[in-house]
Amino acid sequence: MENSDKERIKQLVKARKKAHSFYSKRSKVYQSFVDMEQNTYRDGKLSKKQKELIAIGISVVINCESCMEWHIKQALNDGATRDEIIESVEVGIEMSGGPGTVSARFAMNVLEYYNPG
């Protein structure tokens, strides 16, 4: 794995933390977004893991690198395997064609970073 790829992931994590602190203090809109997020990603009729996998597919389609980093890490924490995550990425590729294969590269890096295998 390239150092520049590792650096990119570390930067995303740092930026999320800093901005979370910044907006939590200043923005009621952000606070209610956080509520919405917590209401979304918890066990319901679908498990939290299944919801994280849905979010991975979405993140691939919209090419949101920070979203891929977060939801792949969450899915791994919730017990998702590499293959399950790759299959979620595949749905994203089917739903976005060539640009989805570009997103899939970043998803691969995130997998290698959190789950070197």
36 binds a second copy (CB under 8 A): yes
Collapsing DSSP to helix, strand or coil, 107 comes out as helix
Please report how close the Cβ of residue 44 comes to a second copy at its closest, in angstroms. Answer: 5
Q: Residue 28 interacts with a second copy (CB under 8 A)?
A: yes
Q: Return the residue of 72, 74, 86, 116 that touches a second copy, per CB under 8 A.
A: 86
Query: Does residue 18 interact with a second copy by CB under 8 A?
Result: yes
Burial of 86 (0-12, 13-18, 19+ CB in 10 A): middle
By CB under 8 A, the residues from 40 to 69 that bind a second copy are 40-41, 44-46, 50-51, 53-59, 61-64, 66-67
Q: Which two tokens stand for residue 103?
A: 């997103």
Alpha-carbon distance of 19 to 46, in angstroms, equals 30
